[in-house]
Amino acid sequence: MRFLIFVLSSLTALIVAAPLAEPGTDLETRASIDTGTHCGTWDTVQAGQYSLNLNQWGINGATGSQCAGLKSLSGTTVSWWTTWSWSSNGGVKSFTNIQLNTNLNKKLSAIKSIPSTWNWSYSSYSMTADVAYDLFTSNSAGGSHVMEVMIWLANINAGPLSTSYPAKPIASNLSIAGKSWNLYEGPNGNTKVFSFLPTSGRYTSFSGDINLFLQYLVQHQGVSSSEYLTTAQGGTEPFAGSATLTTSSFSMSIN
């Protein structure tokens, strides 16, 4: 009997001592992500429904380096960082980003909402970069890009693609997702690029429906609702300087 009481007491102590998950948190998912440091040009790290992509596509002729890593995954909320130092060669060096990999390749007309939150900070603003969502559409599921939509949360001494320079917005003071934006349009090869920028300042905390931006373009800029959303990402484009971007929380889903 004493042995049985000892065993039951020990089990009770283990249960009490065991860490409790936050509501809605999958401990196995949290424990399984790779939180190492990655510095390869095309490194990709999986994290639940997301992937972290270093995507250092513009580093030819540049001097410097960039690394990134995941910090945590709790349910559908991921945190991550990237540190970079680049000399100027006149262009974007990378688009290190978190990419959503589920429920893509839907027609714009079939998308009900794209709720997203993003809380971030930069260690310095004495450099040139942007922080932005980046979406691509195609005329077919998984097809070639026909449109890119960037939603800049910060323009740090940089500037959007435009049909004229200095860049002039094609629409100003748009109220979308609870914030104010200017809209720019410009070409990137054969891809039309729409860029929403804050009318002033930076949005270091965003919570809203990304689909509202797409629906604005359908309703006011002649974008076809039959196009497919093929890519949905959020990241930073460094041009020159040195800094660390820390994302304390990022989430996105397509409904």
148 counts as catalytic = yes
> If you ran DSSP here, which 8-state letter would residue 163 be given?
S
28 counts as catalytic = no
- Long-range pairs for 48-51: beta carbons < 8 A, 24 or more residues apart: 48/73, 48/76, 48/78, 49/76, 49/100, 49/101, 49/102, 49/253, 50/78, 50/98, 50/99, 50/100, 50/101, 51/98, 51/99, 51/101
Report the number of secondary-structure helices (H) and strands (E) in the chain: 3, 14
Which helix (H) or strand (E) segment is 131 a member of?
A: strand 128-138
Residue of 22, 28, 185, 237 marked catalytic: 237
Residue of 22, 28, 148, 185 marked catalytic: 148
Quote the CA–CA distance of 182 and 150 in Å, as a whole number.
Answer: 12
With vertex at residue 81, the alpha carbon angle to CA 153 and CA 137, rounded to the nearest 5 degrees, is: 50
Residue 82, Cβ density class (10 Å: 0-12 exposed, 13-18 middle, ≥19 buried): buried
| CB of 104 closer than 8 Å to CB of 92 | no
Look up tokens 């399984």; give the residue: 32
Which residues carry out catalysis? 148, 237
